[in-house]
Structure formats: structure tokens, C-alpha cells
Amino acid sequence: MTIAPVQRTASTAWTDARLILALEEVVETELNRHLKVAKEWMPHEYVPWSQGRDFDGVLGGEAWSLEQSKVTPLGRISLVVNLLTEDNLPSYHHEIATMFGREGAWGTWVHRWTAEEGRHGIAIRDYLLATRAVDPVELERARMFHMSEGFESDNAHSMLHSVAYVAFQELATRISHRNTGHHSGDPLCDQLLAKIANDENLHMVFYRNLLRAALELAPDQAMRAIADVVINFRMPGHGMPGFERSAAQIAIGGIYNLRIHHDDVLQPVLRHLRVMEIGGLGPEGLKAQEELGLFLAGLDAQAAKFDERQAALLARRAANAAKK
């Protein structure tokens, strides 16, 4: 079964400015839907303040040491990566406010999204410091370094590429937070990250539905954007210090890896939009659709190889642990 685009318009006619204007009504509809389903929650309610105490330094408290934390080593690594990613919110806000504008429904969404994302960093940092889950000095140094570098989107050249990217990235972030909570070793941390993950899922739905409308308006351009984004996808935290090493540990630990990226992030969005079933595309759209299909097949094969290596490594670790 193929799905014909609702409306065919020459792709050359759809500039960023025209698309933003044409999608304004969709943004307003999705914004109103989001505001109805989003539930207010308070970050401070998920922080065990009674566990907090002064650190060394100005207040002369107790220096941090690793044994003070109940969070698992894997959970700690992923929590720091997730927090540093959230910390770059000023750069993300600048990117989307510049791309989508600050007026009308677009502007209302940009500010609402920023406000909701802001509480994620607040909640995670307060939790980490109150529970002494991480070295506060190293955390602050990493924050300063990461934010000083700033963030520049790979997709700032195109409105459609930007929408396609966040449709996948919001779901990737949701999965990362949720799995981090499961691996944290602390039920309260798991509960906190579940709240954050729920926000991220609502953000994904907003952008996914917006991307669906874009596919109807400008199918060839939107298909090209989807293919480019999927093929070249990078998480926004890729520039943080030690990201490659942390990402490898997170992958092996089962929080976020190729298999999860393929099965739980890319495929759900693509299936919902029925991207591979869209018919009536022009030459550029057909080319992008074909490239996307080939890439997904290759990624699935890479994920299968990763699964084998991961299973072997975990088996060796379990065997070594049993000998001790």
C-alpha cells in the first residue's frame, strides 16, 4: 500500500519562510493539544533534600567521595551526559528561536518548550548534588567547558531539516532518560527521569505531527530532509568532553546504542509517518526515500553486529566477576 501526499506543490516554491507561514495553523493546533495533555510537575518534589549536606570549600563541609553515592557507575555516567546535554539549553533556544521566530504560535511554542526543558536540568542537577551522586567540582568544570563551546546544529541551514531532526532527537532523549533511570540503582532517580522522559515524549509528538504536515505540503523536500537527518544523525551532546568514551559505556550498558537507536527511535517515527510508503514523489523525493531504505538496512546489520559484540563482552564480564 502506498500513501499519496495530500497536496503536491513544486518543491522549489517552498522556502523556509513560506513553510513556516503555511505550518502556523498546524503549530497552533499542536500547541493547544500539548497544553491540554501536559501535566504540571515540580522538580523540587523529586529531590531528596534531607540527604543533602555542605560540601568542602567556603562552608567547610564534607568533601565528595565516590562511596557516598548509591547511583550505579553506569547510571552516573549517563546522568552526567544527560545533564550536560540539558545544560546547553540557551544554545538550543537560540537555534530554534532564530529558525522558527518568536511571534505567533511558533514563538509561543519556542518559549513553552524552553521552559519545560529548563526544569529537566534543574531537577537532575539538584538530585545529583543532594544525593552526592557525582563530584560537584568535576561536574561544574564539565558544564563550563561544554557551555563555553556552545552548540551549533547540523541542520540550521533548513527549517525542514530542523523539524525532522528534533522529531527523532526528542524521542532519542526520552529513551536515554528512561533507560538511565532504569539503570540508576535508585528508585527515586528512576521516578524523576520518568517525569522528564514524559516531557520529552510530548515534545516528540509535537514535532512528529509537524513533520507529518510538512510531508503533506512539501513531500519531496521533507523526504530529503528526513533522509539527510537519519543518515547523519548525531546526539546534541556530541561535543561535550569525553563524550565518545561515555557513549561507548552507555551503549555497552544498554542505555542507548545502535539497536535502540534503530528499533526504538528511528523506526517508530518512520512507521508512524509511513515514510517508506509515501507515493507520488518526484525524482528528488524518490531518491531520498531509496537512500533512506538502504541506510536503514545497513544500520540494522550494524546493530546486529553490535548486539553480538555486546553479548560477548557482557558474558566475559560476568565470567570474570564470578571468578572473584
- Alpha-carbon distance values, 95 to 84, 100, 120, 247, 295 (Å): 17, 9, 19, 24, 28
- Residue 167 maps to a domain: yes
DSSP string, 145-161: HHHHH----TTTT-HHH
How many domains would you assign to the chain?
1
- Residue 17 maps to a domain: no
- Alpha-carbon distance values, 271 to 16, 41, 99, 168, 230 (Å): 26, 31, 27, 12, 14
pLDDT at 5: 44
Question: N- to C-terminal Cα distance for the chain?
Answer: 57
- Residue 2 maps to a domain: no
Tell whether residue 86 is among the known ligand binding residues: yes
Under the banding of pLDDT at 50, 70 and 90, the label for residue 8 is: very low
- Residue 157 maps to a domain: yes
Give the residue, 240 or 195, on which the prediction is more confident. Answer: 195
pLDDT at 153: 83
pTM of the model: 0.92
Tell whether residue 170 is among the known ligand binding residues: yes
Tell whether residue 44 is among the known ligand binding residues: no
Under the banding of pLDDT at 50, 70 and 90, the label for residue 46 is: very high
Which CATH number belongs to the domain containing residue 284 in this structure?
1.10.620.20
- Alpha-carbon distance values, 218 to 8, 22, 158, 169 (Å): 7, 11, 13, 22
Tell whether residue 200 is among the known ligand binding residues: yes
Closest CA to 139 of 128, 131, 127: 128
What pLDDT, in 10s, does the model give residues 264-304?
999 999 999 999 999 999 999 999 999 999 999 999 999 99
- Residue 35 maps to a domain: no
- Residue 25 maps to a domain: no
Which domain covers residue 132, as residue numbers? 70-314
- Residue 324 maps to a domain: no
- Residue 269 maps to a domain: yes
